Copies of this chain bind each other. A is one copy, B any other.
């Protein structure tokens, strides 16, 4: 079985280790401000360094693992957390280990653990009713909901996006964004006329013309979620896919760029252009057989797949293709959104002539959903709808997260911290050749590769036993996802720990 896994992992993620690495100079600001901004970011009572009492998982975690195993297959559990004691950038486990967390619940915690501003939301008695009365937002929203959507969501909307829907999670954000896109695509085909009786009747039984064979184009190595439509756009790991029926939707090759970029400018440009050409071919093929492709869906960085980057020019090329064929350009910012890449939204790095048509979100936002341009607005009521359509409690928390990000300039802070992180990794790359390579990233949204899966997995386990939690992605990548309040002092603890381990591994 292990053999299968390794083999498939290789197939799914491509053979090459070379990646496009963003030129840091355009992202990082002068670091003069770092000290000012970080001083206010310090959390009272945060631990000063990791402190380990047991290996991880420790005896208490192992006992709880057995208890949870009675109820469900929980084989992916790493350890059990003590979220009362966790604070800021440190997670504490049930065995009392204090661990610097550079994975942050799969990149879904923005302000670290138990941030005082969020605890204050809970302590405010006025807010209790928001948490205990979950309304059906599509029918009976609370009176303050338009204002809350404006403060928590529209205040951080990508440019030109005045429209937003909230959903429960990132997958649902993507699923409902597809529904919006398909509705828009067919509305254009109908020249704005209402649907026909035949369409309204046939769709009830999953039949054309009401249920047309539309699709969304996705990329090899991508990860967009696990519900059916989202999963059909996901091509990262067999665990997401095996035994689920598959849809014949176009899957394009993701560019495999050679590193270092400056040595392979012409080759990399050619690779990206070849991929763009394949995208056009796939669209033509599908259209020819009557299966129109309504959207191109893309992650700004293929995170789960292995932190695969592509150049801004590639994304601009994708957008041009969508414009040429009357498709939607949809960017999945579930993992990249809300600042960790040094911009609020990662696609802001691309200098697009006009923003994407749809941008979906999840994770750090605390709930799922999507922003979209006016032109995609749906005419008929009740088509983007379910019982909850999001959760006012999560929007309330997000409002505070956004306020803290703005007040503390956390995105600029993140660029500065990311500079320290990335220069540190690059330095290790130089000093430990053959052990760590392909340092890459945008601000603190960073990664590096090791020589093989076994070494990578062992490194993550051993780092954790020494009090540093990072993630993995793709077959050989170390995934770094500090919170937005990580500071250079945290980066140095991490770099020191990694350096010590690499030194030992070399011996």
Query: Which A residues fall within an 8 A CB radius of B?
Result: 1, 4-5, 7-8, 11-12, 60, 64, 67-68, 70-84, 86, 91, 94, 105-106, 108-109, 113-115, 118-119, 121-123, 125-136, 138-143, 145-147, 149-150, 154, 162-165, 168-172, 175-176, 178-179, 182-183, 185-187, 194-195, 197, 199-201, 203-208, 210-215, 220, 225-230, 232, 235-249, 251, 362-363, 366, 377-388, 393, 397
Q: How far is the CA of A149 from the CA of B73 in the complex (A)?
A: 14
Q: Pick the contact of A183 from B8, B122, B242, B245 — CB < 8 Å?
A: B242
By a CB distance below 8 angstroms, the chain B residues around A382 are 75-76, 237, 239
Other contacts beyond A74-B141, A240-B383: 16, CB < 8 A: A1-B194, A11-B201, A67-B146, A72-B384, A86-B133, A105-B135, A106-B139, A108-B388, A123-B128, A199-B242, A200-B238, A206-B235, A210-B238, A227-B229, A228-B232, A362-B387
By a CB distance below 8 angstroms, the chain B residues around A133 are 83, 86, 109, 113-114
Q: Is the CB of B206 within 8 A of A239?
A: no
Q: How far is the CA of A439 from the CA of B411 in the complex (A)?
A: 59
Q: How far is the CA of A78 from the CA of B195 in the complex (A)?
A: 25
Q: How far is the CA of A241 from the CA of B211 in the complex (A)?
A: 7
Q: Tell whether A134 pairs with B146 under 8 Å between CB atoms, given A81-B140, A141-B80, A380-B239.
A: no
3 closest cross-chain pairs (CB), A and B: A75-B381, A206-B246, A211-B246
Total copies of the chain:
2
Q: Is the CB of A140 within 8 A of B80?
A: yes
Residue of A81, A91, A136 contacting most chain B CB atoms (<10 Å): A136
Q: How far is the CA of A497 from the CA of B457 in the complex (A)?
A: 67
Q: Is the CB of B132 within 8 A of A128?
A: no
By a CB distance below 8 angstroms, the chain B residues around A140 are 77-81, 91, 105
By a CB distance below 8 angstroms, the chain B residues around A91 are 140
In the complex, which residue of chain B has the Cβ closest to the Cβ of A91? B140
Q: Is the CB of B4 within 8 A of A195?
A: yes
Q: Could you list 19 examples of A-B contacts with CB < 8 Å?
A: A7-B200, A68-B149, A76-B139, A76-B381, A77-B139, A83-B130, A83-B142, A84-B126, A84-B129, A105-B136, A115-B132, A119-B128, A131-B393, A169-B387, A179-B244, A204-B235, A204-B238, A210-B241, A211-B242
By a CB distance below 8 angstroms, the chain B residues around A94 are 143
Q: Is the CB of B204 within 8 A of A72?
A: no
Q: Tell whether A171 pairs with B121 under 8 Å between CB atoms, given A78-B139, A238-B204.
A: no
In the complex, which residue of chain B has the Cβ closest to the Cβ of A10? B201
Residue of A118, A203, A249, A382 contacting most chain B CB atoms (<10 Å): A203
By a CB distance below 8 angstroms, the chain B residues around A139 are 76-78, 105-106
By a CB distance below 8 angstroms, the chain B residues around A172 are 168-169, 171-172, 227
By a CB distance below 8 angstroms, the chain B residues around A212 are 243, 245
By a CB distance below 8 angstroms, the chain B residues around A67 are 146-147
By a CB distance below 8 angstroms, the chain B residues around A379 are 73
Q: Pick the contact of A71 from B81, B150, B383 — CB < 8 Å?
A: B150
Q: Pick the contact of A226 from B176, B206, B235, B241 — CB < 8 Å?
A: B176
